[in-house]
Chains A and B, each alone.
Chain A
Amino acid sequence: MSSDKIILKALNIKKNIKGKNILNLREFNVYEGQFNFIIGHNGSGKTTLLNILSLVDDDFSGDLIYKNQTIGPKTDKVKLRRRFSVIWQNPYFYRGSVIYNISLPLRLRGLNKNQYLKKTEEIAKRLEIENLLEQSAATLSGGEKQKVSIARALITEPEIVFVDEPTTNLDEESIEFFNSHFAELVTEEMTVVMVTHDKNQIRSLAEKITVLKKGSVQYSGPIKGLHYQNDNNYYSSKQDYRLLMKN
């Protein structure tokens, strides 16, 4: 396990949508080189927090601090976003082939054709999707979409990878592939922030865990410190909680 160095910090984050408070966080830390998990019931603000942390949503109040530098109005957000990647729950692909979609982040960063094709082939090989490269992205199955989405996110070798419920809506085979391969695909230098409901993922990958409830942090820290507390806990039953803790 890496040392507990904070790479991204969120302070006093508040987010309202149509007058309703969605998120009200005093502090949230992302630890460098670790798998940081965010869990919670539907509507607890997990995805909202992920959007804010990944700089996709800037309509909130509060501070984000990246490597001890506050992200302010004058910060070059495009430059920062290029250090991050997001794997969405339902990934969007642009019109065109799989190779176009995977290489798109590199093209946006100005890499030449030889460079981006080489990297695309490399990442496709690691994800076992070389056969899909020439195919139209619109014709991919759910599992294939998720693999292509992972390839597109990791091709830039980001510092932080944000992952939003990656296996929801996937078949068992694809969930199995994700759970067994994702950790190998992420390099030691990468930090992962993952929103999930999947207990297997939490058990096998989580180093730090944050439990959100109604937009506030219920628990934040190492997974071993998570305790079951009657109705005040994310887990609705003791059984669920024991299942999570089972190793």
Chain B
Amino acid sequence: MNYIIEAFQEAWYLIIGFDRELFNVVSTSLRLSITSTFFASIIGIPAGIFIGRTNFGRKKIVNIILNTLLGLPTVVVGIFVYSLISRRGILGEYEMLFSFRGIIIGQIILIVPLITALIRNAIYSLDEKLYKTALSLGATKIQQFKLLLLEARYGIMGAVITGFGRVLGEVGISMMLGGNIKGVTRTITTAMALETNKGRFGFGLALGLILLLLAFIINIGVYSLQEGKEYEQR
């Protein structure tokens, strides 16, 4: 029992003392997650809107594939990207293995389907009358698209934040493609695994608490966008 109490005490002091190593890891994790979410959003937002609004021949199959990819295990993405960027892979010459860029590629592959599917659902859930009303109000095609974006904005933001939360908490891709290099590719989750194995339980616990706090903040964001008390007022 003492062991746990001491670990919590150590974690607390590391956090309130702004331990440099601890916050270096947090900062790396945040930089990685923000970058991969940004690029995944650039792909996922238009893709989600396109699938949500357009009827095309293979839409059913695209939706089935998209839904399947939602449950994609991070290690599967990790091994797939590893095969591409390792020295013998087709992208081997770019030396992306065990680098920031390697993790970014893996994380983008992980969350593009998630962001796309959530935005598709947000578009599906919009009232069909929105489009008819926009036409009757005299909106041009661009204005109709802007109105659509404005109506779906909370769903879109929610999808992006959910994607961010997913990459922040993943461990498989960061471990396989990043290699857990201190100060470069060591993220909250990979550092937790490593430091706990090394016996630095307090350090791992401190990272866990920060990760929980970040997850809590992300969920407050998603909740207030999608179900908050002001939701009906908007």
Interface residues of A (CB under 8 A from B): 51, 54-56, 78, 81-82, 84-86, 88, 90-92, 94-96, 104-105, 108-109, 136, 138-139, 152, 156
Given A56-B132, A56-B135, A95 and B150 touching (CB < 8 A)?
yes
Q: List 9 A-B residue pairs with CB atoms under 8 Å apart, sorted by A's residue number.
A: A84-B136, A85-B136, A88-B132, A88-B136, A91-B133, A92-B132, A95-B151, A136-B234, A139-B233
Contact A81 B135 (CB under 8 A): yes
CB-based contact B234/A109 at 8 Å: no
Nearest residue, chain B, Cβ from A105? B137
Please give, as numbers and ranges, the residues of chain B lying within 8 Å of A108 by CB-CB distance: 137-140, 143
Smallest beta-carbon distance B144→chain A, Å: 10
Q: Does B212 contact A (CB under 8 A)?
A: no
Q: Which 3 A-B pairs have the closest CB atoms?
A: A92-B129, A82-B138, A86-B136
Asked if B127 and A92 make an inter-chain contact with CB atoms under 8 angstroms apart, the answer reads: yes
Least CB separation from B234: chain A residue: A95
Interface Cβ pair total, 8 Å cutoff: 54
A105 touches B138 (CB 8 A): yes
A196 vs B132: C-alpha distance in the bound complex, in angstroms?
20
> Which residue of the partner chain A has the closest CB to B126?
A92
Given known pairs A92-B133, A94-B150, the reply for A78 and B232 (CB within 8 Å) is: no
Residues A136 and B233 in contact in the complex (CB < 8 Å), given A92-B130, A94-B150: yes
Q: Which of B129, B135, B143 has the most CB of A within 10 A?
A: B135
| CB-based nearest B residue for A90 | B129
> How far in angstroms is the closest Cβ of chain A from B224?
15
A81-B138 contact in complex given A90-B129, A92-B127, A96-B234, C-beta closer than 8 Å:
yes
Query: CA separation between A90 and B151, bound complex, in Å?
Result: 18
A-contact bits for B221-234, CB 8 A (1 contact / 0 none): 00000000000111
Asked if B69 is an interface residue, CB under 8 A from chain A, the answer is no
Q: For the complex formed, measure the closest distance between the CB of B53 and the CB atoms of chain A, giving whole angstroms.
A: 16
Q: For the complex, is B194 an interface residue (Cβ under 8 Å from A)?
A: no
Q: Cβ of A138 and Cβ of B137 under 8 Å apart?
A: no
Does residue B84 face the partner (Cβ distance < 8 Å to A)?
no
Task: Indicate if the CB atoms of A138 and B232 lie closer than 8 Å.
Answer: yes
Complex-state Cα separation, A84 to B150, whole angstroms = 24
